[in-house]
Chains A and B, each alone.
Chain A
Amino acid sequence: MSLNRLVTLSRRVTWGSLIPLFGPNGKVVSNVQFRRLFRTQTPSLAFAKDLFLGKVNKAEVFPYPEISREELEEINQFVAPVEKFFSEDVDSQRIDREATIPPETLEGIKQLGLFGIQVPEEYGGLGLSNTMYARLGETTSLDGSIAVTLAAHQAIGLKGILIAGNEQQKAKYLPKLASGEHVAAFCLTEPGSGSDAASIQTRATLTEDGKHYLISGSKIWISNGGLADIFTVFARTAVVDKDGQKKDKITAFIVERAFGGVTSGKPEDKLGIRGSNTCEVLFENTKVPVENVIGEVGGGFKAAMNILNSGRFSMGSATAGMIKKLIELTAEYAATRKQFNRSISEFGMIQEKFALMAMNAFVMESMAYLTAGMMDKPGIPDCSVEAAMVKVFSSEGGWICVSEALQVLGGVGYMKSYPFERYLRDCRILLIFEGTNEILRMYIALTGMQHAGKILTGKIKEMKKGNIGVALQMFGKKLRDSISTKVDLGLTGKDGVVHPSLTESTKKLEENVHFFGNTVEGLLYRYGKTIVDEQMALKKVADVLINLYAMTAVLSRASRSISIGLRNHDHEVLLANTFCSDAYYKNNFLMTQLQKNAPENNDDSIKKIAKDVLAKRAYICSHPLDRTF
């Protein structure tokens, strides 16, 4: 087997070339955007990329990030009044019923200072780190509508000014945004451009005198669209390339409602987060001074991606906070409700649900704060893949947990007089906005595979040049793999980074990571650059990666908890071990499906089924009661 591999290594594998994006009718729409997205990444892609090579970058994730005692005391001080406000002065039921946040409540939130959490102190904000932002997110998530209003305002609405704006823009706009006097909104999505954000049609044309841009176009699903005074708007601008070619590139603008020509439609009637204002925003020849361009003209897409990437991780802590609250509410019920002469908390199927909720909350917290800690490290590390993984896991985990919590309460959970149905409706949006989970899975899988592909191509180039050393190295690896199944990536043992009581789970992680590296290699050989089109395979790749990151996060966190003796650390060990065991077997199955010609893989059949159904746009089977005679 290994010799064959050496022979097949002579096949060229190219990477870094244009990756086609397909439009609605299957035609290649643009080749440019993905390339720009990948090539402009800073080289220091934190942790995930190495997993694709079957390695664990220990230093990035062990030990678990810590904050100083002063910071911890400070954040606890911050959380107290916010928790009090949300439990006493926020009527979530009323907000949901009336589909609006009462002005007094919004005013209270502004006064608490929650509109400028990450705005630097010199501009009137709190200047808190990503970790502190995540911590506050646990509390604000108690009301979905308020959480989304705040996130739309500061995690994306004003983020552009914060991370890419110049001094004048910051000084002009940030103070009023931090105090909440002005509310911000992020305007990217259009009727024809959702996931395919690069295809937006809103135009910004430079005036004759070169002093203003006139922006025209329509944006939809804009959170805070009706309340906002300041919009971060993305529009196409005509740009002359360095080759002298005229191109249409996206530029980010700060647009004030006061500039004129800005109209917001009526609030959308939504399933959940009904108190959050979502509407259409139309721009008709809105005059925007050239000083309001954020960053470079033509650099808008990159800015948009950076903005979205920077806020994503907080969904982990927000969802964890919500699940923790749900556990309390649900356990109260389960302990007192009796059926068949026993408390329902004694029944296995009910117990399973609580374990599920506890594990999910544990994993989400661990991942969120690990990511936030990585992002808070000096030098701007690119944690976009990690943040995407947190988002996918938390949104789907949250949806399942809320559903299970509702199930525990049975009929009672279904009633509007209890908050569970509202939490369920509020949660559904998490899988859709801030990048649909489908798009994020593609991003997670492809970014890593691109990295692995580059390294692989590099090695093959070396071998072709006659570098025997590299060839022997690869041959040796294949030989070792086919002989023994023991894996040691250096996480356990004498110089290990995990606590001894987590050894077994860590070994599972190492095994998974090693197998994953091989699986990725196999996929690259098999598909080359057409891997982009294999969404079902990429989904599995992404799912494995998310599980690996989750396992790493819980092992890192639990190790720290044991080492410093946090309260209930043995419960953490239990949660960590159970989750890792579960994830290990799931990963193995997913990776088995990804092997060449795996009988466990049904993807081809699935594609055929979908093709048949979509061709007729209906279910095509004859009715079971039909006769032919």
Chain B
Amino acid sequence: MSARVLVGVKRVIDYAVKIRVKPDNTGVVTDGVKHSMNPFCEIAVEEAVKLKEKKLIKEVVAVSCGPQQAQETIRTALAMGADRGIHVEVSGKDYDNLGPLQVSKILAALAKKEETSLIILGKQAIDDDCNQTGQMTAALLDWPQGTFASEVVLEGDKVKVIREIDGGLETVRLKMPAVITADLRLNTPRYATLPNIMKAKKKKIDVVKPGELGVDLTSHLEVLRVDEPPQRQAGMKVETVEELISRLKEAGRM
């Protein structure tokens, strides 16, 4: 099996950081703020590396789209066990307008170029919460998709995916090549150990431009305004059900 897996990793603001909106309301403050790999992307990398360790696939390629710093995220994926990385260089205005549609076009182009059997992505990014890239990529490639995966099993030229859906768990069998998006319970990502980070220094990261892949990055979306969520108001305690009803009526909620 010469199976190659492409894993998308996104550099986002670290989950533990307190987000603040820029004074001009055009976005959030990113300058000097701690960034790290999107947690769902970590789970995706972990799954790919696990498949490689089980010798079910040959190579794991980590991909990230963004400015120079995106390479840090790729390095983390390499330290977790990916074999090589591809940095699609996007900066400035193009980066500000980079959304799921643009990224999925890039991933689709790369998948064809790199003869990929499987694309594993995180189900969504914790900064925009779009939950679209995986689905769009599959559509552009006309490949089957198994999203919100909580279990992935390779069976020859097919892949069985157990999906977490509202009603419970759904099992689908996809014919490869396919796109999978990772959900929380798929696995527990390993730590990038320091010795592995050192070994990862020797692994290659290729840099490509979107133009070279024939991808058009124009966005059809415009962010008008970003605001902080409304301040949480204090609640109030009531003693009896009657009081609850009267208060709700007062507030115009009934």
Contacts and interface: CB of A to CB of B under 8 A. Distances in A.
A78 B32 CA distance: 18
B75 interface: yes
A126 B191 contact: no
Nearest to B35: A80
Contacts of A260: none
B137 interface: no
A111 B191 CA distance: 9
A567 B195 CA distance: 31
A85 interface: yes
Nearest to A568: B32
B194 interface: yes
Contact of A126 (B16, B36, B198): B198
A126 B16 CA distance: 28
Nearest to B194: A113
A586 interface: no
A80 B193 contact: no
A107 to B, nearest CB: 12
Interface string A44-86: 0000000000000000000000000000011011101110110
Given A80-B36, A87-B16, A567-B32, A113 B76 contact: no
B239 to A, nearest CB: 27
Given A87-B16, A126-B198, A77 B75 contact: yes
Contacts of B16: 87
B197 interface: yes
Contacts of A121: 198
A580 B194 CA distance: 38
Given A77-B72, A87-B16, A567-B32, A108 B191 contact: yes
- Which of B72, B75, B191 has the largest number of chain A CB atoms within 10 A? B191
A112 interface: yes
A81 B191 contact: yes
B193 A77 contact: no
B193 A111 contact: yes
B72 A78 contact: no
Interface string A103-120: 000001001111001000
Contact of B76 (A77, A112, A114): A77
A112 B198 contact: no
B72 A113 contact: no
B79 interface: yes
A111 B194 CA distance: 8
B192 interface: yes
- Which of A80, A113, A114 has the largest number of chain B CB atoms within 10 A? A80
Interface in B1-28: 16
A78 B194 contact: yes
Contact of B72 (A73, A81, A84): A73
Nearest to A80: B36
Contacts, number: 40
Contacts of A77: 72, 75-76, 79, 192, 197
B49 to A, nearest CB: 15
Interface string B64-77: 00000000100110
Contacts of B201: 74
Contacts of B192: 77, 80-81
A108 B32 CA distance: 30
A126 B201 CA distance: 13
A108 B193 CA distance: 9
Contacts of A85: 191
A189 B195 CA distance: 34
A87 B17 CA distance: 13
Nearest to B79: A77
B33 to A, nearest CB: 12
A74 B71 CA distance: 12
Interface in B202-254: none
Contacts of A114: 194
A78 B197 contact: yes
B123 to A, nearest CB: 21
Contact of B195 (A76, A82, A87, A126): A126
A309 to B, nearest CB: 26
Interface in A106-159: 108, 111-114, 117, 121, 126
Contacts of A76: 72
Contacts of B75: 77
A245 B52 CA distance: 67
Interface string B185-197: 0000001111101
A113 B36 contact: no
B191 A112 contact: yes
Given A80-B36, A121-B198, A567-B32, A112 B193 contact: yes
Contacts of A82: 194
Contacts of B193: 81, 111-113
Contact of A81 (B32, B194, B198): B194
B77 to A, nearest CB: 12
Contacts of B72: 73, 76-77
Nearest to A87: B16
A76 B193 CA distance: 13
Interface string A160-204: 000000000000000000000000000000000000000000000
- Which of A87, A121, A126 has the largest number of chain B CB atoms within 10 A? A126
A478 B177 CA distance: 88
A121 B198 CA distance: 10
A108 B197 CA distance: 16
17 contacts: A73-B72, A77-B79, A77-B192, A77-B197, A78-B194, A80-B36, A81-B192, A81-B193, A82-B194, A87-B16, A112-B194, A113-B194, A114-B194, A117-B194, A121-B198, A126-B195, A567-B32
Interface of B: 16, 32, 36, 72, 75-76, 79, 191-195, 197-198, 201
Given A76-B72, A81-B194, 19 more contacts: A73-B72, A74-B197, A77-B75, A77-B79, A77-B192, A77-B197, A78-B197, A80-B36, A80-B76, A81-B192, A81-B193, A82-B194, A108-B191, A112-B193, A113-B195, A117-B194, A121-B198, A126-B194, A126-B198
User: Which 8 pairs between the two chains have the least Cβ-Cβ distance?
Assistant: A113-B194, A113-B195, A81-B191, A81-B192, A112-B193, A113-B193, A77-B197, A78-B194
Interface of A: 73-74, 76-78, 80-82, 84-85, 87, 108, 111-114, 117, 121, 126, 567
